Amino acid sequence: MYQGSCLCGAVRIEIHGGISAIIHCHCSLCRKSSGTAYATNGFVALSDFVICSGQDTLSFFETAPGKKKHFCRICASPVYSSNTQVPDKIRLRLGILDSEISERPLSHNFVSSRACWDDLDAQLPRYDGYEPERALRS
């Protein structure tokens, strides 16, 4: 079982099954709805997806007929997407998960739409916290 929550903790979810087809999506819709270079999404069977709390704080934005992006209306955390053409699955935003998962991403998708500053193969320094220079800029 996997557990997750939104930023403010109002929405809490559980997944009683696996996550499939995990991808890093660089399309403009995912970039804009996440405010980041890409969104990491995976399919979850609707029958395995449980909203434990916060159902009343979930809202959605319909990007096209039948396609909805569901988010917490308190903290604006994206939670999942639904599509009436695939009624038995949701597309979960993996950033909402609090549990470690065993599944891994398969690919970077819509890379031709990626942000111009997003270098997929960047060999940038890596830190466990803030970059050391941050204290000098504060």
Dump pLDDT digits (tens) for 76-135.
Answer: 999 999 999 999 999 999 999 999 999 999 999 999 999 999 988 778 787 888 788 876
Which has the closest alpha carbon to 95: 48, 42, 54? Answer: 42
C-alpha 98: how far from chain center = 12
Q: Which domains does the chain have, with CATH numbers?
A: 2-115 (2.170.150.70)
Q: CA separation (Å) from 59 to 21, 24, 32, 53, 91?
A: 25, 24, 17, 14, 15
Q: Which residue has the higher pLDDT, 94 or 29?
A: 94
Q: What is the pLDDT at residue 138?
A: 58
pLDDT at 93: 97
What is the rounded distance in angstroms from the CA atom of residue 44 to the CA atom of residue 127? 32
Q: What is the pLDDT of residue 132?
A: 81
Q: What is the pTM of this model?
A: 0.88
pLDDT for residue 11 is more than 70: yes
pLDDT in tens, 32-55: 999 999 999 999 999 999 999 999
Contacts 24+ apart (CB under 8 A), 102-105: 103/18, 103/19, 103/20, 103/22, 103/42, 104/22, 105/22, 105/23, 105/24, 105/40
